Structure 1
Amino acid sequence: MLSSFDFVRQSLELHLFFARIMKEHSFFLEAGFTTRDNSFTRKADEFRMEFDRLLIDVVSISNGIVSQSVIHSGEVFTPYTLDAETVSSYYSGVRIPINITQAEINLMGGETVTINPFLEQRVVSVNNRAIGLIKALITFKETILSNVLSCKMFTLNYPLLIDHIMREARLYVQMVQQLQSREEMSIEKEALQQELFWNRIMAEHSKFIRGLLDPTEDQLINTAHDFGNEFDQLTTEAKAAVDMTIPLEKVTEDSLNAVQRIRDFKEQGTKGLLECKIKSIIIPLLGDHTLREANHFLRLLKQFEVKPINK
């Protein structure tokens, strides 16, 4: 069973990463609807603002509690997040509050903190609120995907991207529910689940990037295509590890190497988008979004590599 300290810290760290991811999912959906579906545009905007409010509350109680390793991992914010939000807000006309990112940049980590009952109960309340909000967003995404697949709606987002962000939301709500039950996962179980999940996500990121680049960007398209193939293979390896046909350590080592390289590719891409040096239909915040997810996966892989995994 998780201690009060681990429960509070892990909950806040999870929200710092995933609540931002969810608010950006809502923004990407919002920006992709046609004029005909303005009711969906408004609903996506409502979700975006609800996750803004959730994230503001999380940031307000995280100072001195969350770990330095998470703050400095690049999964909460990157050197490009503020600019990506500012430019994406300009392009879309959607007001993205950069004050949240500014507050995150000022967060301080803490290693030895006493958790009082009031703080613990506050985190329980945040978790319950998040669970309800994430479940509602999942239902919204399911409706959109169903409409798109049945030709009742057109959106600028790929059907696979809608399915992709729905899976991320399901992982988020599952992890919050585990924390609420104070469930302590084994390192092996967590490694298997996370590596299988995130290798697939990295493969899909590569394919989205490939498809959103201007057709003249031959070199970038080829690089993204190669990453897609590599992470498809790593996803297959992770499935084999689940079936115990290859050792998990081998998957972790291969994944770590590949994620470091795709992380650098995404960073260069995000910088290129902000400097208007890459021709594409990729909004800069999407570049920064995928960069943060790579940073998150990289931190997990390093954690799995350091901690002993019992067979």
Structure 2
Amino acid sequence: MLSSTEFIRQSLGLHLFFARIMKEHSFFLEVSFTQKNSDLILKADTLRMEFDGLLADTIALSNGVVSCSVLQSGEVITPFTLKAEMASAYFTGINILTDLTKTEAALMCNDLMIVNPILEQRVFMLNQRAMELISTLVQFKSRILSAVISCKIFTSNYPLLIDHILREAKFYHKLIQKLQNCENMNLEMEAYKQEAFWNRIMAEHSKFIRGLLDPTENELINTANNFGNEFDKLTKEAKEAMEKTMPISKVTDDSLKATIEISKFKAQGTQGLVNCEIKSIIIPLLGDHVLREANHYLRLLKIFKKAKV
């Protein structure tokens, strides 16, 4: 059974990462619709602001509580997050709450937390609220995906991207449910599942980047394509490991090396977008968004490798 300390620490770390991811998914959906679908724009905007509230409350509970490894991983914010938000707000006219990013930059970590029953109850309630909000977002994304693939609405997002962010929301919900049940993490099983999940995510990021770059950006397109192929291979290997036909330790080692490299590529790309040095139709916040996901995965892979799974 999960200890009270780990329940609090893991819950808050999860929300610091994923609540921001979900609010940005809502933002990406919001800016992708045409005026004909103003009702969908409004719904996405409402969801975005609700996740702002969830993130704000998570930040308030996290100071002096959350693990140092989470704050130092680059999954909560990166050196580019604030500038990416400012640029994206400028391009879209949408009010992005950059104060949340500034507050997160000042968060203090603590690896020697003393259990507080009141804090534990607040975190439990935060988890319940998050699951309800995620369920609403999952329904919204499912509705959009169905409408897009049946040609009932147009969006500038790829159908695969909508499916991609739908899978991430479902994954987030599942992780919270495990925490609410105080389930101890089985590192071996978690490695199989997480590596199969995140390697596919990294492959799809590479393909989205490839498709959103200007056709003249040949070198970047080729690099993104190579990463897509590499992570497709790693996804297949992770699934083979789940079937016990390949050792998970090899997949972890290979995934770690590849994720370090794609994190560097995404960091360079995000900096290039923020500094207007890359020709593309990638909104700067998307660059920072996928960088944070790579950094999150890197932290997990280091845990799995340290445990010698």
TM-score (structure 2 length as normaliser): 0.99
AA at the equivalent of 1:37: N
Match for residue 160 of structure 1? 160
Q: Is the 8 A contact 2:206 2:228 kept in 1?
A: yes
The residue type paired with residue 9 of structure 2 is: R
Residues 195-250 of structure 1 deviation map (CA, whole Å, 9 limit, x = unaligned): 00000000000000000000010110011011100000000000000000000000
Deviation at 1:185, TM superposition (A): 2.0
Q: Which residue of 2 aligns with 1:223?
A: 223
Residue type at the aligned position of 1:60: A
- CA offset digits 1:285-307 (Å, max 9, x no partner): 00000000000001111110001
Amino acid at match of 1:42: L
1:57 & 1:287 partners in 2: Cα distance?
25
Amino acid of the structure 1 residue aligned with 2:24: E
Residue 32 of structure 1 aligns to a residue in which SS?
coil
8 Å CA contact 2:249–2:308 kept in 1: the answer is no
Does residue 68 of structure 2 align to residue 68 of structure 1?
yes
- Cross-structure match for 1:31: 31
C-alpha distance in 2 between matches for 1:111 and 1:239: 34
Structure 2: give runs of 5+ residues left out of the alignment.
none
What is the CA-CA distance between 1:308 and the residue it aligns to? Answer: 3.3
**Alignment match, 1:293:** 293
How many residues end up aligned between the 2 structures?
309
Q: Which residue of 1 aligns with 2:187?
A: 187
**Which residue in 2 is equivalent to 1:170?**
170
Q: Could you tell me how far 1:116 is from its partner in structure 2? A: 1.7
Cα deviation, 1:241-268, whole Å, max 9, x if unaligned, reads 0000000000001001100111110000
Distance, in Å, in 2 between the alignment partners of 1:56 and 1:194 is 27
Contact 2:12 2:58 in 1 (8 A): yes
What is residue 80 of structure 2 aligned with on the other side?
80
The equivalent residue for 1:246 is 246
The residue aligned with 2:98 is 98
Structure 1: stretches of 5+ with no match in the other structure = none
* Partner of residue 121, structure 1: 121
List 4+ stretches of structure 1 deviating above 4 A: none
Q: Give the corresponding residue for 1:212.
A: 212
- The Cα RMSD (Å) is 0.5
> Which residue matches 2:107?
107
The answer as to 2:76 corresponding to 1:47 is no
